[in-house]
Amino acid sequence: MLVTVEGIDGSGKSTLLQGLAEKLKDLNPVFTREPGATWIGEQVRRGIKEKINPVAEALLFVADHAAHLDTVIRPALKEGRLVVSDRYTDSRYAYQSETLKGLVKDPKKWLEDIHNGWTISPDLTFLLMLPVEESLERINGKNIEKEHFECRAVLENVQANYLELAEKNPERFIVIDAKKDKKEILDFVSEIIRKKSKIARIN
Ligand code: TYD
């Protein structure tokens, strides 16, 4: 079973994922991430840092995804493992729809077309929703170098794209209010994963 966790920067994904690693230990899950599970992921990070052409950047994200499927996701799913990915294709739909505006004709369609036929859709996607204002406060408080995605105008649109994805795919999206207590979020998410993975094993 493939579970993905999505949300704008600063929405609390990392905290949730750390908690899940502890809570779901007995299920022996594979934790992975995009970008970064492959050496191409390292090139993606370099591309982000050097602010390369957005089309090149988008294609690097897609290349990382393809390699990620081959080296991590497919083998783990084949073994019947539970896979939890920190970001996945929805990140592309949410972020690159924004960064590709004006550069390709219809960014959403462009992204759909490029993934069609070879990608794997998640069984369950948790979307952490935090107001952009608060996400920026959290990011700014961290005192680390900011990525070019991390500004108000971009994040507002990324957030809107995420919500649109959740509305279009209600069968797999679960939207979480990221302002809620961290423990409450962790308990809620881990219980859903547990229940769903039981059903997946029975089937
Ligand atoms: P990452 O380092 O994982 O940041 P975070 O810890 O906030 O998740 O990801 C780097 C950035 O890349 C992040 O701002 C989101 C962006 N991103 C995309 O724009 N498209 C994508 O397909 C993915 C996977 C990430």
Mean pLDDT, range 132-141, rounded to an integer: 89
Angle formed at CA 120 by CA 49 and CA 43, multiple of 5 degrees: 20
Q: Compute the distance from residue 13 Cα to the ligand 1 centre, in Å.
A: 11
- The CB of 35 under 6 Å from ligand 1? The reply is yes
pLDDT the model gives residue 145: 64
Q: Compute the distance from residue 29 Cα to the ligand 1 centre, in Å.
A: 22
Judged against a pLDDT cut of 80, whether residue 146 lies above it is answered with: no
Which of ligand 1's atoms lies nearest the C-alpha of 35?
Answer: 24
Nearest CA to ligand 1 atom 7: 9
Cβ–Cβ < 8 Å for 34, 65: yes
Q: What percent of the chain has pLDDT over 70?
A: 98
User: What is the full DSSP assignment across 162-182?
Assistant: HHHHHHH-TTTEEEEETTS-H
pLDDT the model gives residue 168: 98
Render pLDDT for 18-67 as a digit per residue (tens, 0 to 9): 999 999 999 999 999 999 878 999 999 999 999 999 999 999 999 999 99
143 pLDDT band, cuts 50/70/90, is low
Q: Within 10 A of 59 (CB to CB), how many other CB atoms are there? A: 15
Q: Which residues contact 129 (CB under 8 A, 6 or more apart)?
A: 7, 11, 159, 162, 163, 175, 176, 177, 178
- The CB of 61 under 6 Å from ligand 1? The reply is yes
Q: Compute the distance from residue 74 Cα to the ligand 1 centre, in Å.
A: 21
Q: Within 10 A of 157 (CB to CB), how many other CB atoms are there? A: 17
- The CB of 57 under 6 Å from ligand 1? The reply is no
Q: Where are the domains of the chain?
A: 2-29+85-202
Render pLDDT for 53-95 as a digit per residue (tens, 0 to 9): 999 999 999 999 999 999 999 999 999 999 999 999 999 999 9
- Pocket perturbation via mutation, ligand 1, pick of 87, 127, 148 by most ligand atoms within 8 A of CB: 87
Give the predicted TM-score (pTM) of the model.
0.95
Chain Cα centroid distance, residue 41? 14
pLDDT the model gives residue 139: 85
- The CB of 32 under 6 Å from ligand 1? The reply is no
User: What is 2-29+85-202's CATH number, 3.30.2350.10, 3.90.180.10, 3.40.50.300, 3.40.228.10?
Assistant: 3.40.50.300
Render pLDDT for 158-167 as a digit per residue (tens, 0 to 9): 999 999 999 9
- The CB of 15 under 6 Å from ligand 1? The reply is no
Judged against a pLDDT cut of 90, whether residue 151 lies above it is answered with: no
